[in-house]
C-alpha cells in the first residue's frame, strides 16, 4: 500500500496560530526549525542554557531567546532539539516542571520516548516531526521557496488535536511543500538507527575505508586510491539521489554498469544481510540504546579513541591534502 503524503493544500497552520512555540536548542536542526517557523508567521522563542554560545547566533537571526525554563513556561508547544544523549537531563531539570496540561512536547527523533528515557505526563501531547535531511538544507530550501520531505508521528494525544498540531508544525518548517508522511515513534527510531549504522554512516564509511586500504596495500598510490574509493562517491550518490539506480546506471559507462551487477552481490552477500538482521535486532531490543547511553555516561571513551584513530588514518591524511587542492569544494570549519 502506498503511503499517503500530506501537502500544503491538506494542512492548516491554524492549530499553531496565536500560540507560542519554544525551540529548545539552536544546533543544526533547531536553528532551521526556529527560523522557518518564524518566517511562516508563527510566534517562536528559542530556549537556551545560560552562557550558551548559540545565544548570540539566535539573537543575530532576529529570534527571541529565553532560558529553557522560561521558554517552556511561556510556550504552548515545546520542541526538544538538543542531542539525544542530553535530552533526559535537560527535560527533567528544565522542561518537565514547566509542562502544564494541554501543552505539546515535540521531538525530532523518537529515541528517548521509544526507549523510555523520557516519560512525559499523560496530560500533554507528544509528537514527532522530522525533516529528512540536515538542518542547513532545511533552512536553505525553505528560503528558496521550496521544502524538504519529512515524517510525523503522535505518541500521545491528550488534547484530541495532537495530529493537527504535528501537521501544522510540519507545514511551518516547510516540509508539507515537498510532502510529509505519517509514522510511529517506534518505526522512525528503529529505521533511523538501522539506516545510519548499516548504510549511511557505518556501512558506507567502512566500505570506502576498506577499498582504500586494499588498493594501497596492493601498491597503488594513495592519491589514486582516494579518488577511486572516496572522491567519486559523491558523483554516484548525486546521480542516485536525482535519478534512482536506473538513472545512475544509465549515466555511467557500460564497463562500470557490468561491474556493478557482477561484483556487488559478491561484496554484499547473504552473510551481510544476516548481519544487518542482527544489527536491527539489537536496535529493536534496545541493546544499542543501552550501549550508547553507557558510552555517554562514561564520557565517550571509545568514540574519542575512534575519532583520533580515524583522523590519523592515511585515507583522512591523503584526503585533507587533496581537498586543499580543490578550490571548487567549499571550505567550512566544523562546528562543535
Can you spell out the DSSP letters for 13-55?
A: SGGGTT-EEEEE--SHHHHHHHHHHHHTT-EEEEE--TT-THH
User: What is d(CA 261, CA 21) in angstroms, rounded to the nearest whole number?
Assistant: 50
Q: For residue 7, give the C-alpha cell.
A: 501537502
Question: Which among 31, 33, 109, 114 is annotated as catalytic?
Answer: 109
Question: Cell numbers 589514486 correspond to what residue?
Answer: 224
Low-confidence ranges of the chain (pLDDT < 50): 334-336
Is-catalytic flag, 31?
no
Q: With CA atoms as reference, report the closest residue to 209 among 221, 196, 225, 220.
A: 225
pLDDT score, position 127? 98
57 CB-side CA count, 13 A = 16
pLDDT score, position 332? 59
Compute CA 82 distance to the chain's CA centroid, rounded to the nearest angstrom.
Answer: 12
pLDDT score, position 329? 78
Q: What is the pLDDT of residues 105-123, one digit of tens each?
A: 999 999 999 999 999 999 9
User: What is d(CA 178, CA 6) in angstroms, rounded to the nearest whole number?
Assistant: 9
How far is residue 59 from each of residues 47, 64, 102, 201, measured CA to CA in Å? 12, 7, 29, 34
On whether the CB atoms of residues 154 and 125 are closer than 8 A, the answer is yes
User: What is d(CA 106, CA 91) in angstroms, rounded to the nearest whole number?
Assistant: 12
Backbone angles phi, psi at 141, to 5 degrees: -70, -30
Amino acid at each position: 500500500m502506498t503511503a499517503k503524503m500530506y501537502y500544503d493544500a491538506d494542512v492548516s497552520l491554524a492549530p499553531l496560530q496565536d500560540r507560542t512555540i519554544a525551540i529548545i536548542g539552536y544546533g543544526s536542526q533547531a536553528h532551521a526549525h526556529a527560523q522557518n517557523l518564524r518566517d511562516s508567521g508563527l510566534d517562536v522563542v528559542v530556549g537556551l542554557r545560560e552562557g550558551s554560545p548559540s545565544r548570540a547566533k539566535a539573537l543575530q537571526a532576529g529570534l527571541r531567546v529565553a532560558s529553557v525554563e522560561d521558554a517552556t513556561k511561556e510556550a504552548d508547544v515545546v520542541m526538544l532539539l538538543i542531542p539525544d544523549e542530553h535530552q533526559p537531563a535537560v527535560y527533567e531539570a528544565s522542561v518537565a516542571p514547566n509542562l502544564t496540561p494541554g501543552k505539546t512536547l515535540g521531538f525530532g527523533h523518537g529515541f528517548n520516548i521509544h526507549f523510555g528515557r523520557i516519560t512525559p505526563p499523560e496530560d500533554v501531547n507528544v509528537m514527532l516531526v522530522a525533516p529528512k535531511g540536515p538542518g542547513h538544507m532545511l533552512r536553505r530550501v525553505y528560503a528558496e521557496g521550496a521544502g524538504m520531505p519529512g515524517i510525523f508521528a503522535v505518541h500521545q494525544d491528550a488534547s484530541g488535536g495532537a495530529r493537527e498540531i504535528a501537521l501544522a508544525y510540519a507545514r511551518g518548517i516547510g516540509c508539507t511543500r515537498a510532502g510529509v508522511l505519517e509514522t510511529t515513534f517506534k518505526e522512525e527510531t528503529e529505521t533511523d538507527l538501522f539506516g545510519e549504522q548499516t548504510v549511511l554512516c557505518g556501512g558506507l564509511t567502512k566500505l570506502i575505508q576498506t577499498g582504500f586500504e586494499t588498493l594501497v596495500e596492493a601498491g597503488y598510490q594513495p592519491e589514486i586510491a582516494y579518488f577511486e574509493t572516496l572522491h567519486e562517491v559523491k558523483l554516484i550518490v548525486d546521480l542516485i539521489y536525482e535519478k534512482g539506480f536506473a538513472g545512475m546506471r544509465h549515466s555511467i559507462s557500460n564497463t562500470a554498469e557490468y561491474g556493478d551487477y557482477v561484483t556487488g552481490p559478491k561484496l554484499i552477500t547473504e552473510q551481510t544481510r544476516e548481519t544487518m538482521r542482527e544489527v536491527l535486532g539489537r536496535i529493536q531490543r534496545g541493546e544499542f540504546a543501552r550501549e550508547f547511553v553507557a558510552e555517554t555516561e562514561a564520557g565517550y571513551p571509545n568514540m574519542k579513541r575512534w575519532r583520533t584513530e580515524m583522523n590519523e588514518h592515511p585515507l583522512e591524511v591523503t584526503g585533507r591534502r587533496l581537498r586543499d587542492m580543490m578550490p571548487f569544494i567549499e571550505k567550512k570549519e566544523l562546528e562543535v
